[in-house]
Chain A
Amino acid sequence: MELLCIRQWISGLLPTWLSAWCIKPVGGALVRQEPEYILLALMGSPLKKIMLCSSEKEIFSVEEQVMVQHSVIINNMIEDGSYNHEESKIPLDCVDSKTLKKVIDYCTHHTHHHNDNQEDLEAWDAQFLNVDSNGLYDLLMAANYLEIRNLLDLIYGTIKNMIKGKKIDEIRRIFNIKDHGFTPEEEEQNRKEYPHFY
């Protein structure tokens, strides 16, 4: 707990000249930025940033452009002026830090690489979603809350692929369906009529 407070205090203290030299505080740590931004920063047009606050009270600084493009909720918040760039941060109480980091990662990558070809993007997405079911669930809830359409579609597609082409017994196992709700006669009937599905 104390560690977090110290981190925030340090990042609050960081002078603007340091951000101009493209070292930004992300999650309390100091992270190097991409070269494009170095150039832009040198040219004197810093990218507008917004602050997102996770449920664990960790602050993440993200480019406004990135989040606005992907998240409908954040877009609405910025548009209707309730967000003040100098002071406020957006509290996201239902998203924990780990998930928020991942979500920011997704949005950032898709904004910067939207001109890439389809296969590369898909490969990156597949790698991105290579998480366990808890992580997937957290991502799903976060994307749902922030209304990030393409991440939602991606996750729906992933879950759909867990169902598609699988046998019924396997699906029941994967989705932890202990009681299928059919009467024994119905189940018997189904198994007889569609044996290849089971």
Chain B
Amino acid sequence: MFSEGLGADESLCQDVQSLSVSKRLVRSVSQKLRKKNNRSAGEEDDDLKGVALRCLTLYSRGGGCKVGADTSDEFSDSNGRRRSSASEEGRGYKPICGPEETAVDCFSYGVRDIFWRRHSRKNSEIEELAANTRMHIFLPDDVLEMCLVRLPLTSLMNARLVCKKWRALTTTPRFLQMRREGSYQNPWLFLFGAVKDGFCSGEIHALDVSMNQWHRIDAEYLRGRFLFSVASIQDDIFIVGGCSSLTSFGRVDRSSFKTHKGVVVFSPLTKSWRKIPSMKYGRSVPILGVSEVSSDFPTCQGHQSRQDRRPRSRIGGVSDVYEDPHKLSMRRHCRSSFNESEASSVTSRRTYKFLRQKSDHSSSKGSRRVLLIAVGGLGSWDEPLDSGEIYDSVSNKWTEIQRLPFDFGVACSGIVCGKMFYVYSETDKLAAYDVERGFWISIQTSPFPPRVLEYYPKLVSSDGRLFMLSVSWCEGDGQIGRRNKAVRKLWELDLMYLTWTEVSVHPDAPMDWNAVFVADKSLIFGIEMFKIFGQVLDFFTVCDVSDMARWHHISRNHVTHELDASSCLTKTVAVLHL
């Protein structure tokens, strides 16, 4: 018994010892983990620097430049930066400026961001991780849902692959609705029109603005196509028109090309493409406007094309009287309405009834109804067009709308704001198409801000307000009275009093006359690309119109350093809230 008692004590001691040993083990393991991460960080330094150098040599073929050296310095700078990933989400979008973690991902989806993520964890987080690596408790489904809904898109895609239950939880319409309404979504910019080595590669570069990560999407459909226009709504991007070379497939060829009527819809969430009916006229760089309307939104088009016929002379033509008298009375109505610039209630009622019947056999998309308007652009012989067409997703076809006002000129920019589609011309005229009533209105505003002639203003609409970005001369430094500096300014049009007021000044010198500006909720994004020092650089800026409209730079990753200079011309951008 005595020996047994001792034995029990001994075993107790041994147990205690083994416990303490295991604690030591845990500590040493976590230390090792930390060291390993540090070492791998060191390795990554070389790896990333190596890649940067590779990019540099690509450019030295084109005529080596120092700018490449700058970008590699950026990489090494950000290597030294660490950032906690806690509490950055769920606050909505904040302008990113100052030291930030950057992740370049030109070549494959997410390869490099792995390095960045591993690298950026603070030591304390690693320790914490070693301590609570296991959720022993089973989380109830509703709690799990509430946590998953807060994930940004890339993590959500990830979570869907974890297990079948998580996939089921995150793909219900209710979940997606909760995600949309709870402002857990962030803006994503999609850059189209990349030209590499002379070929329209059909690559789409997507920027996840909140995580500052680039992803690349290959689009077979867009190979060889250039000078198309894009418009985005909800989860879809419409890609309209464009040209493709006839002689040498894939190249940007302005000498022998075909202009397309085709329209295709790209949905980034599902990476799916679908075709919708083609337009009536082939257009390149059409001015697009897109809006979502209710399923019983009254639209008045279809018979408008009759107005387009200029008044025919009675001599030599078949007299109108011998035509269908009903058609005659309709035309009389239309012409009078054209003159009064107000559609008569009779015709609008008739058309309204007509469309209401149609909507009874509506598409399976439920109550979501999208109207896409395409006006202007260049036709098959590069001639500027003044015709316009509207696509209704419910009837799934294009109908021609009234042409642009007679003395309007060439449309250079357009945007939908409220129920009007505003279009700006190269000769500084503003017109709006009333989508509901189906006619153009010339808008007389206070004098437009005087601008530099080569830079056509761009219209943007955010939060129901109408803005314009225009480049004008202003006083240079140190020389009062002499206008020798060009600056891009953001103007707002007061829709009630039709006056232009300056809102803010863009910080960058306007080097890109084909700069693209797109708006998402209350943010306006500016995308400029130009070739400088033998390299194509891109500059992304953003401003928040609900908060001082100060411009910030985002994404200094220069994803375009492998693209041709003609990408600056062919580029076009769409923004989605995903």
Contact = CB atoms under 8 A, between A and B. Distances in A.
Interface of A: 122, 126, 130, 132-134, 136-137, 140, 144, 152-153, 156-157, 159-168, 171-177, 179-182, 190, 194, 196-198
Contacts of B90: 153, 157, 160
B151 A174 contact: no
Contacts of B163: 172, 177, 179-182
B108 A157 contact: no
A163 B147 contact: yes
Interface SS of chain A: helix
B150 A168 contact: no
Given A134-B137, A157-B87, A196-B108, 18 more contacts: A126-B87, A133-B135, A133-B137, A137-B139, A156-B143, A156-B146, A156-B147, A163-B147, A165-B117, A166-B158, A172-B163, A176-B136, A180-B162, A180-B164, A181-B165, A190-B161, A196-B109, A197-B110
The 5 closest A-B pairs by CB, nearest first: A181-B164, A180-B163, A196-B110, A137-B137, A159-B147
Contacts of A156: 143, 146-147, 150
12 contacts: A136-B132, A152-B146, A156-B147, A157-B89, A164-B151, A167-B158, A176-B134, A177-B162, A182-B163, A190-B161, A196-B109, A197-B161
Interface in B129-184: 131-139, 143, 146-148, 150-152, 155, 157-159, 161-165
A160 B135 contact: no
Contacts of A197: 110, 157-158, 161
A172 B86 contact: no
B89 A174 contact: no
Contacts of B151: 160, 163-164
Given A133-B137, A173-B133, A196-B110, A160 B161 contact: no
A136 B109 CA distance: 34
Given A160-B147, A164-B151, A165-B117, A171 B162 contact: yes
Listed residue (A153, A175, A180) with the most chain B CB atoms within 10 angstroms of its CB: A175
B143 A140 contact: yes
A160 B114 contact: no
A27 B98 CA distance: 48
Given A122-B87, A177-B162, A177-B163, A163 B155 contact: yes
B4 interface: no
A60 to B, nearest CB: 24
B128 interface: yes
Contacts of B157: 194, 197
Contacts of B69: none
B111 interface: yes
Interface string B102-114: 0000001111011
Contact of B89 (A130, A140, A164, A194): A164
Interface string B455-484: 000000000000000000000000000000
A140 B144 CA distance: 12
Contacts of A134: 136-137
B151 to A, nearest CB: 6
B164 A161 contact: no
B17 interface: no
B85 interface: yes
A172 B110 CA distance: 20
A130 B133 contact: no
Given A177-B162, A181-B164, A190-B161, A159 B89 contact: no
B161 A164 contact: no
A175 B139 contact: yes
Contacts of B161: 168, 190, 194, 197-198
A96 to B, nearest CB: 14
A161 to B, nearest CB: 6
B303 to A, nearest CB: 50
Nearest to B117: A165
B85 A164 contact: yes
Contacts of B87: 122, 126, 157, 161
